[in-house]
Amino acid sequence: MKNISDQKKIEYVNIAALVAMASAIGLTVAVNYLPALRDFISSNIVLDSGVAELVTALPFIVFCIICGTKVTKEFSIKKMASGNYILSIVLAFLFRPLLNFLNMFSLCFTKNALTDSMITMVNTVPFPLALISTAVIPAVVEEFICRGVLYHTYKKANPIRAVFFSSLIFGLLHRNLNQFLYTFVLGIIFCLALEATGSMVSGVLMHLTINATAVISAYMLPLLYDFAKATGELYEQMGMPEMMDMLEQYMGDMSVGREEWFANLMKVADTVDISVGFVFVNYLPSAVLFTVLGGLVLKAMAKNGKNYEHFRVTFLGAEPVAVEKEAKGPYDTETVTVEEPQGDSFLKIMTVPLLVTLVIGGLFIFVLQTLQMLPRFK
């Protein structure tokens, strides 16, 4: 189909979002309530991840085909200024304390949604395959959906509302209270990085770095167990059993097997009563400090990519300023005022399909995590 209006594209993408949300929720319910499917998926954690990403992405792929979308051009999939590749990775680490704060805050009210799947993955899946299925594929697919299709389609109406709604859907698609809060904030950060660098590659790199760090950390823990176990045995051979006791104070009961020790360690957070006050005192200061530093790096990325004026006008409400640009005429440069597009005020993002998407996504999280009314999901 050709010559589809921007408003029609918004309506179509909202329908795609609704289908994706309903499909993802349906898959979650099916896995938990159909014993045969649950047993099959629980023993194939990589397949579970792959199917979930495919089910979510398929409606948006259909949207791109119907609208004749030129993906690389329309979704800002292009090279960045050389320094911004490294800065994107640095930015991911700088925002890590903020994510830790939001994660710990959510754990005051719910359980860690990733504990069981992480235990199964580390104990059954080779590290390279886990890295691809849990870090690489989600980073590419989710950025294509949320910063590619959703954000760029909504941006035609209003860039700030585009950031909000694409990030909100990003959070809701994770379908649990624990992940919703920090993925919503992550979505905003990824959108800002996209506009600062002019490329969706920045968000993919940041997303990949955050996911890969979590996977690597999880796979390092069993290695730590092996090292501590060998050290403890050495202490016992040297006639120093008290050193082994001291080691277990920090490492937990090491008389159990490696897999059981790892499972016990991962579940500690679910058994500890975490208070809001504890989280604010111990996690908020570092979150604020490193978020400020992240903002400075984001500014540096925008300047490095020569997108700073665009960024200021689009998100900070600054007045367009005169800048020197290369001229095609006989002069080397000319001074022009760059008017940054602020979207078409006549376009409407909120349509019935989007409203239904937000309602069912939010309701599912509310029922599943907050009230825990579905016993199999506890």
DSSP-derived secondary structure for 292-356: HHHHHHHHHHHHHTT-HHHHHHHHS-PPP-EEEEE-SSSSSEEEEE-------TT-----HHHHH
Residue type (1 letter), 132? I
Q: Is residue 360 part of a domain?
A: no
Alpha-carbon separation of residue 195 from 26, 161, 190 (angstroms): 34, 14, 9
Tokens of residue 268, six digits: 């500690």
C-alpha to C-alpha distance for 41 and 32, rounded to whole angstroms: 10
- Give yes or no for residue 252 having a pLDDT over 80: no
Q: Is 6 exposed, middle or buried (0-12, 13-18, 19+ CB in 10 A)?
A: middle
Residue bearing the bigger pLDDT, 241 or 275: 275
Summary mean pLDDT of the chain? 84
Q: Is residue 28 part of a domain?
A: no
For 57, list phi and psi in degrees, rounded to 5: -80, -30
Question: For residues 194 and 202, is the Cβ–Cβ distance under 8 A?
Answer: yes
User: Is 285 part of a structural domain of the chain?
Assistant: yes
Please tell me whether the overall predicted TM-score, pTM, comes out greater than 0.85 for this model: yes
Asked whether residue 6 is domain-assigned, the answer is no
Asked if residue 48 is part of any domain, the answer here is no
> Of 348, 297, 351, nearest to 161 (Cα)?
348
Cα(157)–Cα(262) distance, rounded to whole angstroms?
49
Rounded to whole angstroms, how far apart are CA atoms 132 and 364? 28
Burial environment of residue 268 by CB neighbours within 10 A (0 to 12, 13 to 18, 19 or more): exposed
209 and 180 in contact (C-beta within 8 Å)? no
Higher pLDDT, 189 or 274: 189
**Residue 273: which pLDDT band, with cuts at 50, 70 and 90?**
confident
DSSP sequence for 168-230: HHHHHTT-SHHHHHHHHHHHHHHHHHHHHHTSTHHHHHHHHHHHHHHHHHHHHHHHHHHHHHH
Mean pLDDT score, 241-266: 65
CA atoms of 368 and 77, how far apart (whole Å): 36
204 closest CA partner among 152, 156, 145, 162: 145
Q: How many independent structural domains does the chain possess?
A: 1
Amino acid in the structure at residue 3: N
Residue 308 within any structural domain of the chain: yes
- Contact between residue 86 and residue 80 where contact means Cβ atoms under 8 Å apart: no
**What is the per-residue pLDDT for 327?**
46
Q: Are 225 and 341 in contact (CB under 8 A)?
A: no
Q: Which of 200, 198, 185, 199 is nearest to 143 (CA)?
A: 200
Residue 46 lies in a domain: no
Segment 28-32 shows an average pLDDT of 83
| pLDDT tens by residue, 305-364 | 999 998 988 887 666 665 554 444 444 444 444 444 556 667 899 999 999 999 999 999
pLDDT at 331: 42
Q: Is residue 153, in this structure, part of any structural domain at all?
A: yes
From residue 264, give the alpha-carbon distance in Å to each of 68, 110, 252, 269.
Answer: 51, 18, 8, 10
Q: Residue 312 belongs to what domain range? A: 74-161+177-350
